[in-house]
Structures are given as C-alpha cells and as structure tokens.
Amino acid sequence: MNLNLENIKRGISLMKTVNFNTDCNKGPIMLEVATTSACTHKCYFCAEHSNLIPVEHTSFKMPDEMLWKLLSDIKKLKIEEVRLAGNGEPTADPRLTPIVDFLHQAGVKVLIVTNGTLVERLPDSTFSKLHKITISINSFNNVTHQVIHDYKGATQLPKIMKNLDRLAKIPGVKKKIQINYVMTTDNYAEFSEVLDYVEKNDIFVAIRPVYVGYKEIASKKLEFGHINKVLSEIEERFTQGNLSNNLLKTLEYARQSFTSDASTFQERNELLPCFAGLYGGYIESNGDYRISTYCDGKPMGNIKHSGFIGLWKDNQLQSKLYSGVIMNETRRPLFKNCNNCLEGENYSRQFYSVFSKIPLQMQLIRNKHKEKVSKVKSFLS
C-alpha cells in the first residue's frame, strides 16, 4: 500500500468508521465479493483451484436472493468499494453486467480482478463503469503462461492480449487497467521483458513475488539470488531517466514488494496489528464471510442467516474485529495463521503506521475494543 491520495482517503474513511460509527451503520471501506467460484484457469498458486492441492473443487454460484440482498446491504452500509474477485472468475458469472450497473448507480467504486479469458462476453459500457480493471497475466510467454495458469488445450495468451487491447481502446478505460504479475521460479527471467512491455504500452504492471500459501508450491518461491537480481535491475532502470509514470509506478511497486519479501524471507512468527476487518472483508460465493482472503479456519459467519448488515452489526463480530487491531498487544491471534499472515505486512502495516502516530487514536481503538468485549460478555451472561 502506497500513501497516495486514494489510500489517504481510505485512511480518513477508516477514522470515521472507528470514531463516529456507534451503531455500525457504516460498513467497511471495501468488500471483496466472489459471486461464483467457477474459474477457467487452475493457477498453481491459487489456494482454491490449483491442481497441486489434493482437494476436489466444486463450483458454486451465489444464489440470486442472497446476491441481491448483499448488494442492497452494501448500498445501505455506504460501502465505498467492492472488488469482484475472490475464489472464482467474475466474468464467468452471467449476472456481472447487472451487478456492475446496480453498484455503479449506488455510487460504489467497482473493481474487478479477471484472468481476461471471457472479457469479450461483456459490453464496453460495463468496463466504462468500473473504477479499476485488474488482469492477472503472469507471463507474456505462451508456454510459461499455460504452465502457471494450468489450463488445457492451446495457449490462451493471444486471446487474452487481444481482449486487453480491446479494453485499452475503450474511451477512458486504459487508465483504469492494471496487470497483476506474480513472479515465480518459472517466470522471473522475463522481468526485463515485462518492464519493456510497460514502457511500450504505458500500462501499470503490479509485480510481486509468489506467496507460498501451502507446501506444494514451495519449489516455486524465489530464492535470495533471484530477488537480488530483480532488485539490481530495478535500480538500474531507475538510473536510465525519462521514465513514464506507469514505468516508475511499476518499478516502485516491484521494489517495495521484493524488498519486503527479502526482509521476511523466513517465517515471522509474530503477531502484527490487523485492521483488515475494519477496512475490508471477503464474502465467498456460498455466503461465508471472512476478515480477509488470507484468513484460515472457520469463517466469521454467513450472510444467509441475517444478511451482511445483521452480521456486521453483531457484537461478537465487532469485538473480534477490534481484537485483531490490537493483536500485537494482547498476543491473542484470531486465527492460527495470524503469526505469518501477509495482511499484517500489507495494508494493515500502513494503516497502523499512520494511526499509531495520531495522538490518542490507538487509545480510542483500545477503548472501542473494551466496549465491544463488554457488550459481548453482557449479552452472553
């Protein structure tokens, strides 16, 4: 997370949520929603679909009644951003256009994360209404793309690049496009080519090292030598001068990602403050709600019982959200993977670095935690 204008606005919104939201009438800043768990790819680092994980996947589409109740709750809670992504390919859902239309009319910023294979199904007007379009293209090489994305048949990369070109030609859309590029031992040698692509096409590429979420992909994690080589090339590019804004942005993002990865190459085994539940949330296609996509174990609840509003206003849930914010003080993790969760290293670290410098702000958060815990104890007794 960079301290740009958009993230500063998110920080201000989070302050309002923490300090002026007594009845929880305002929801988190952002929700990530998976309306379907179906996907056209089986990327080997994907915890949901990877063929490396010995778990059979069953596709699930969020029922219409649950979906439209959720969208209504998002509007009522004044949630500012919705990211359509999660554990499936959002463009595989035939309801995507009306979903985007509803949220856009409600004044919600809509972001979408796609692998780009089904983009041709949607009209230009749908993409014009999006706030951001992220396309996961983890290699610009036909063979490597197929290895990482793990699909059958001929390479799909030419089709995806054609879809990307189409999006870039829609008036006002090109500036909304971001390409995600997860770097592994299979594609790290393409780094120079990726930077050349950015320079030629003027599209931002978010390059980051692969996160080893399960042991089966440990061999895909970059070694120190790989990381140092990438960091060296980043610094060399910086010295060339006359760099476009998107190339500068790409280099800065990569430097931050790889520097952070190098510093946390070994397991952290330390609890960091987690703001994820206050600024965000993740709802799976079956209605399960989690603080973030990184959370393991049982979900925090399911929206089929009381909708998202009922779940969000529940005292026990709110107590857990504030408990997460001060985990570094209480030493009590919410989940078994909290000690090494990436969320603590990303947005939460930035939010904490700001909040901890505001006089009395962390004390207000601690008081909120005590208040929420007290309400839960009172309810249980």
Length of the chain: 381
Model pLDDT, residue 377:
74
- Residue type, position 262, single letter: A
- pTM as predicted: 0.92
Tokens, residue 302 = 């399911």
d(CA 207, CA 194): 9
d(CA 329, CA 103): 38
Model pLDDT, residue 265:
46
d(CA 235, CA 302): 47
Model pLDDT, residue 213:
76
What is the average per-residue pLDDT within 6-32?
87
d(CA 35, CA 67): 7
Find out whether 94 and 123 touch, Cβ atoms under 8 Å: no
- For 286-309, the pLDDT digits (tens) are 999 999 988 888 999 999 988 999
Superfamily of domain 34-263: Aldolase class I (3.20.20.70)
Model pLDDT, residue 214:
80
Identify which has the larger pLDDT, 378 or 174. Answer: 174
Cα distances (angstroms) measured from residue 298 to each of 201, 210, 290, 312, 378:
43, 25, 8, 17, 24
DSSP state of 151: -
Model pLDDT, residue 47:
83
Q: Return the C-alpha torsion angle 266, 292, 164, 4, nearest 10.
A: -80
> Which residues, 6 or more positions from 347, have their beta carbon under 8 angstroms from its beta carbon?
1, 275, 276, 279, 280
- For 37-57, the pLDDT digits (tens) are 999 999 999 988 888 887 777
Domain locations in the chain?
Answer: 34-263, 276-380
Helix (H, G, I), strand (E, B) or coil at 294: coil
Identify which has the larger pLDDT, 355 or 192. Answer: 192
Residue 337 confidence class, pLDDT cut points 50, 70, 90:
confident
- For 116-137, the pLDDT digits (tens) are 999 999 999 999 999 999 999 9
